[in-house]
Amino acid sequence: MARNPRFDVLFEPVHIGPVTAPNRFYQVPHASGMTNALPQVRAAFRGVKAEGGWGVVCTGAVSIHPSSDDSPLPFASLWDDKDIRAHALMTDAVHRHGSLAGIELWHGGACTLNRTSRIAPLSPSGMPWLSTHLGFMGNLRPRAMDAGDIRELLRWQAAGARRAMLAGFDIVYVYAGMGYLPYEFLLPEYNRRTDAYGGPIANRVRLVKELLEVTRDAVGDRCGVALRISLEELRGRPGAHAPSEAHEVVTLLADIPDLWDVKMDSSPTDCAPSRFAAEGSHEPIVNFVKQVTRRPVVGVGRFTSPDVMVSQVKRGILDLIGGARPSIADPFLPNKINEGREHEIRECIGCNICISSWHDGVPVRCTQNPTAGEEWRRGWHPERFAGPGSDSAILIVGGGPAGLECAVTLARRGYPVTLADAAREFGGRLRFERGLPGLAEWGRVVDWRMARLRERPNVHLYPGGELSADDVLGLEHRHVVIATGARWTKMLFSTLEFPVGDLDVPGVYTPDDLADGVVPPAPVVVFDFDNYYMGGAVAEKLAAHGSVTYVTPAGNASAWTFMTNELPLVHRALTKAGVAIHTLRRVTGFDGTAVTLADVYAGTESRIGCRSLVIVGVRRSTDDLYEALLAQGAALERAGIASVTRIGDALAPGAIVHAVHGGHRYARELDAPVAAAPYSRDFPV
Ligand code: ADP
Ligand code: SF4
């Protein structure tokens, strides 16, 4: 198909100093959880994006010195020449497809606690960064840099830039964002210096300017020099000579970098989750930059709509459409637009599971794209699939995320696939969950897959029929996949988190009851020890119908959403909805008029009057059909069934990302030779 001329502007080349990006699709630096210890995994992950049409593909943060040590979080390094080869694998993979490779050289300053290197963290004036935030709660405080330390920092940046050039990078960054060292120099609260680097904004910006200059000297006219900078806080501060300090900083540095990469200051606003921010949410902060500099500007905003991208360019907000999450969810986004297949873009849902992988210290995972991080180690290409290994027909029972992904991938391999679901609509858990406050975009998991299934002649869809073991035997498929999901239980836990049985008394509900349309009479207590989104989202939804109190044994509401940047926003939303939050309490009983609570540490008892209790705790696999089929024994074989396999929540309840991955894996591995190990192991070079 031909490209829609409306999108032509997105395919114009852009000059970035001495190098030229072939189009406006720019994968900005983002954490991938792939350190120098996984060089092939990393090269393949980024090479696939170049293949998919991203004109520039960047690294994540690359530390320039052991005093920028983010352990135990994963980060890359370019500390000495031995690190060069690991990065060269990536630049080769990106260049193979005609794209440019960018490297984000990085010094974390007081944000990195140097847990491995044991070097006192560096900072402008010895101020700890966000010291009550769990990630920064270190017990070795930063030290103030002297003039010699500043000279050393400039030397490390220059050495890093030279090594980056030797590794084959085309764009080299100075990174002054997100609390990292050069950014700390910009803020007077952290920069209390009285020398030439502190005081008025022209002094506070000096370090960034010098970092840009030494980088330029190191790379000459071989590479473009980019500045990545956070502007949110500075935009809120009135300037002495301009509307804000952000205007002043950009004016002072205007044409020194070859490229401005502009962003927000904190993870929850920068990588804003879709629950709380729409596409393009950075615009009000970064919209002035192009008016102040003649250099090209790149910015992000979870852009997945080509019309929104065109609008950003035409309205003079951005020159290059930055993408981190959209490039993970669909590495082939640019090519799909280029080929007139924009309706096939697998849009990022803004769940931030990718970010949780980084916080977990492992290679990136994605809810929408199960091949992310698996390109090299499992050989999964996002758009290419092995043909069928047999003429077997496959029956999938259950059309939630696991069943849908399994069906799409089997269909793309060319197998005849039947997908059945008891419900009249496919989508599984997401039929309900996409209607919870803020979760509408998560429905893309279902919509993208349903659209792909409807395009395929080898797919038969059977909604609205609950299948029994006898039904399955009668359907004559060679392989049966059970994707029947999981149900919430009314299980409670003891102080030691031992399961103590179900609280099965009148007035107790689970999210499945709400999915079935029950509205629990108010006042309601929501007791959440699942800790992810469900408890908070249900409390917020029910608050529209009456008084809601949220209780959790954890220290925060939706405590695990710390991993996805959503936690502060969940608290804000619950407070705004009028939900009272009780942390560090567990429910011990309910008599229809009140719940009894115990403090998790002290055991002190209390009561909250209510008519309903919603327990959001433990889920149990719906495996009765699976068990019933296994009990058929030889009858299975007589019915021509060679295998019955559970996937997704029916195997092990979990987040949607795991169900999608499980469904994909089944489909990739069907009829494939059994591998000696689940995946190839990567080693440092
Ligand atoms: P997962 O996250 O693993 O995909 P979900 O709970 O989202 O699981 O989806 C499971 C789906 O399976 C639901 O849509 C449910 O209606 C369907 N289902 C469960 N049991 C049966 C059955 N016996 N026959 C047909 N569909 C079923
Ligand atoms: Fe988008 Fe979620 Fe995938 Fe991250 S994990 S890229 S937020 S869909």
Please name the residue that has the structure tokens 């809601």: 548
568 prior amide bond cis, ω within 30: no
CA dist., res. 396 & res. 485, Å (int): 12
pLDDT, tens digit, 9 for 90 and up, residues 246-261: 999 999 999 999 999 9
Measured between alpha carbons, how far is 567 from 564 in angstroms, rounded to an integer? 8
Atom of ligand 2 lying closest to residue 273 CA = 7
SS3 content of the chain, % helix, strand, coil (to 5): 35, 20, 45
Specify the length of the chain in residues: 685
- Which candidate, 560, 555, 533, places its Cα nearest to that of 599? 555
674 pLDDT higher than 90: no
Q: What is the pTM of this model?
A: 0.97
CA-to-CA distance for 31 and 74, rounded, in angstroms?
A: 8
> Which of 28, 300, 352, 565 most suits a substitution to test ligand 2, by most atoms within 8 Å of the C-beta?
352
Pocket test for ligand 2, best of 48, 54, 279, 349 (most atoms within 8 A of CB): 349
CA gap 455, 459 in Å, rounded? 9
pLDDT at 139: 85
Which tens digit of pLDDT belongs to each residue from 317-358? 999 999 999 999 999 999 999 999 999 999 999 999 999 999
Considering every ligand atom shown, identify the ligand nearest to the alpha carbon of residue 398 and give its number: 1
Task: Supply the residue whose CA is at minimum distance from atom 20 of ligand 1.
Answer: 484
Residues designated as active site: 180
Measured by CA distance, the residue closest to atom 8 of ligand 2 is 348
How confident is the model over 264-322, as pLDDT tens digits? 998 899 999 999 999 999 999 999 999 999 999 999 999 999 999 999 999 999 999 99
pLDDT (tens digit per residue) in 136-189: 888 899 999 999 999 999 999 999 999 999 999 999 999 999 999 999 999 999
Amino acid in the structure at residue 223: C
What is the full DSSP assignment across 92-120?
HHHHTTT-EEEEEEE--GGG---TTT-PP
**Res 419 pLDDT > 80:** yes
- Among the listed residues 500, 429, 334, 396, the one whose alpha carbon sits nearest the alpha carbon of residue 653: 429
Q: Mean pLDDT across the chain, nearest whole number?
A: 97
pLDDT at 138: 83
Q: What was the pLDDT predicted at 135? A: 81
DSSP class per residue in 665-684:
HHHHHTTSPPPSSSSPPP--
Q: Identify the pLDDT of residue 481.
A: 98
- Ligand 1 is surrounded, with C-beta below 6 A, by 397-403, 420-423, 428-429, 466-467, 483-486, 622, 625, 648-650, 659
Task: Using most ligand atoms within 8 A of CB, pick from 32, 366, 369, 371 the residue to mutate for ligand 2.
Answer: 366
Kindly give the interhelix angle for 147-166 and 206-219, rounded to the nearest 10 degrees.
30
Q: Is 366 in the pocket of ligand 2 (CB under 6 A)?
A: yes
Determine the Cα–Cα distance for residues 218 and 198; give it in Å rounded to an integer. Answer: 26
